[in-house]
């Protein structure tokens, strides 16, 4: 831990790192109007746009996950390093102890950093793609502890009982994975996600689930039937047929959920999926390289109201 903290001890150096990552050659430009001329204010901590139609004040944190935070960048950078380096994640309670902040603060930091880890404008997958699905969200009965079975059935008569299905799409060519989150494991959700993320004509390896039957005309589907104890078999097209890469990822994520977080609500499931897939996809680079990669992705702000559901957002279907 002391070695991690020593990398980010000086606030000025952290600010320069962020400026160099956000702006070409570290030269500021206004995030509101794009003007490259500015005035230096507050001893170099902030800038003022020189455009007479703008004149807005900004800093390197404007428009990022760090915006409007009272915590120093040195603490944020330490948290980013810890979260992205831990293979199975870190709880907000443990992060709070490591950073010397309250648990609520660490929880909010955790989710803001996860916001930076989400995929943006990702190209369609092609080649040989493995597809598999599972449940990760908390079981419905956790929301109705103490109620009688008939009361639960009445409350759930028009609701989905087990929220939190996830679909994993593993790219066999480059060893990466993409995770999509749904309320439930329905054909319409899974099929739509496959079409939006995998190029038509690609080879699709699945298990024996009937969820993929309706896309067999669009993809070269091959499957292994686990009920018949098929795990790997020869392909009629290319590569061996299996979904082992996705299932290996599920193993890592489920151990992280059960051992670190214990349970995940559906409301936040998508961010946890982004966190685990990001670490998995960057597993072959060093912790330092992963931190620098994360620093390049910090654009975009997550407010507390949005996080807690006061400004309601829904996971992608």
At 139, the pLDDT band (50, 70, 90 cuts) reads low
pLDDT for the residue numbered 316: 45
Task: Note whether residue 315 is domain-resident.
Answer: no
The confidence score (pLDDT) of residue 215 equals 94
Burial of 266 (0-12, 13-18, 19+ CB in 10 A): buried
Residue 141 has pLDDT above 70, yes or no: no
Whether residue 40 is contained in a domain is answered as: no
Name which residue leads in pLDDT, 258 or 169. Answer: 169
Count of structural domains within the chain: 1
Residue 174 lies in a domain: yes
If you search the block for the tokens 């409301």, which residue do you land on? 267
- Reply yes or no on whether the pLDDT at 223 is more than 80: yes
Band of pLDDT at residue 185, cut at 50, 70 and 90: confident
DSSP state of 122: P
Q: In which residue are the tokens 């950078």 written? A: 77
Determine which helix (DSSP H) or strand (DSSP E) holds 171, and give its type and residue range. strand 165-171
Q: How confident is the model at residue 92 (pLDDT cuts 50, 70, 90)?
A: very high
| Distance separating the N- and C-terminal Cα atoms of the chain | 39
Q: What is the mean pLDDT of residues 5-32?
A: 87
pLDDT at res. 313: 45
Q: Tally the C-alpha atoms within 13 A of residue 221's C-alpha that lie toward its C-beta.
A: 22
Q: How far is CA 179 from the centre of its chain?
A: 9
Interatomic CA distance for residues 32 and 42, integer angstroms: 19
Task: Supply the range of the domain harboring residue 226.
Answer: 128-267
| In a domain? residue 91 | no
Cα 194 off chain centre by: 18
- Whether residue 11 lies inside any domain: the answer is no
Give the mean pLDDT of 129-147. Answer: 71
CATH of the domain at 227: 3.30.420.10
- The predicted pLDDT at position 150 comes to 62
Residue 143: predicted pLDDT: 55
pLDDT at 147 over 80: no
Residue-wise pLDDT tens digits, 32-66: 999 999 999 998 899 999 999 999 999 999 999 99
User: Would residue 202 count as lying in a domain?
Assistant: yes
Would you say residue 306 lies in a domain? no
- Tens digits of per-residue pLDDT, 250-290? 999 999 998 999 888 888 899 999 999 999 999 999 999 99
pLDDT at position 264, please? Answer: 85
Q: Is residue 107 part of a domain?
A: no
Q: Using CA atoms, how far apart are residues 279 and 272, in angstroms rounded to an integer? A: 11
Which range, 20-24, 118-122, 138-142, 300-304, is most confident?
20-24
Helix (H) or strand (E) holding 84: helix 73-85
Lowest-confidence region among 100-114, 167-181, 201-215, 227-241 = 227-241
Question: How much is the mean pLDDT over the chain?
Answer: 87
Of 79-93, 112-126, 216-230, 303-317, the one with minimum mean pLDDT is 303-317
Full-model pTM: 0.85
Q: Which residues fall within 8 angstroms of residue 144, CB to CB, at 6 or more apart?
A: 151, 152, 155
Which residue in this structure is represented by tokens 């078999």?
233
Q: Is the pLDDT at 94 greater than 50, yes or no?
A: yes
Region 12-33: mean pLDDT is 91
């Amino acid at each position: 831990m002391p070695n991690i903290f020593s990398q980010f001890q000086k606030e000025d150096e952290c600010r320069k790192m962020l400026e160099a990552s956000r702006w070409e050659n570290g030269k500021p430009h206004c995030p509101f109007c794009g003007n490259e001329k500015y005035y230096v204010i507050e001893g170099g901590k902030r800038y003022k746009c020189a455009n007479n139609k703008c004149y807005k004040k900004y800093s390197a944190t404007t428009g990022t996950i760090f915006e409007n935070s009272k915590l120093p960048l040195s603490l944020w950078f330490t948290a980013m390093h810890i979260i992205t380096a831990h293979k199975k994640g870190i709880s907000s309670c443990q992060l709070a102890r490591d950073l010397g902040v309250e648990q609520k603060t660490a929880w909010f930091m955790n989710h803001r950093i996860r916001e930076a880890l989400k995929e943006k404008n990702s190209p369609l997958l092609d080649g040989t793609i493995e597809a598999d699905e599972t449940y990760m969200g908390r079981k419905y009965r956790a929301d109705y502890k103490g109620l009688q079975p008939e009361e639960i059935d009445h409350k759930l008569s028009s609701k989905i009982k087990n929220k939190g299905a996830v679909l994993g799409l593993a790219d066999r060519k480059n060893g990466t994975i993409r995770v999509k989150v749904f309320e439930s494991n329905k054909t319409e959700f899974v099929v739509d996600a496959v079409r939006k993320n995998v190029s038509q004509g690609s080879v699709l390896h699945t298990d024996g689930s009937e969820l993929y039957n309706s896309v067999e005309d669009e993809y070269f589907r091959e499957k292994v039937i686990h009920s018949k104890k098929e795990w790997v078999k020869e392909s009629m097209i290319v590569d061996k047929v299996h979904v082992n890469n996705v299932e290996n990822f599920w193993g890592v994520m489920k151990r992280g959920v059960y051992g670190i977080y214990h349970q995940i609500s559906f409301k936040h499931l998508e961010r946890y999926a982004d966190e685990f897939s990001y670490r998995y996809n960057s597993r072959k680079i060093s912790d330092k390289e992963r931190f620098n990669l994360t620093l390049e992705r910090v654009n975009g702000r997550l407010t507390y109201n949005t996080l807690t559901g006061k400004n309601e957002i829904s996971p992608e279907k």
